[in-house]
């Protein structure tokens, strides 16, 4: 009975950790989109390399 309980705890822990990592990844992706939208406006179709062209002559 003890071995079954240990395996049950291991499996449940693994599933919970997987779900937490998946939620964290989705959260990071949404945060990145929010930051990109905040700093660059709504111009998502412009590549990141083109967004900094105006900064090259500033310094």
> What are the domain boundaries of the chain?
9-38
pLDDT averaged over the chain? 80
Average pLDDT over every residue of 30-47: 75
pTM: 0.54
> Could you read off the pLDDT of 3-21 as tens digits, one per residue?
999 999 999 999 999 999 9
> Tokens 């990109």 map to which residue?
36
Instruction: Tell me the H-state helices in 1-59.
Output: 2-40, 48-51
Distance (Å, whole) CA 25 – CA 14: 16
């Amino acid at each position: 009975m003890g071995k079954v309980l240990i395996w049950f705890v291991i499996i449940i822990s693994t599933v919970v950790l997987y779900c937490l990592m998946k939620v964290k990844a989705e959260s990071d992706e949404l945060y990145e989109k929010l930051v990109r939208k905040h700093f660059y406006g709504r111009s998502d179709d412009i590549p990141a390399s083109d967004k900094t062209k105006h900064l090259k002559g500033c310094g």
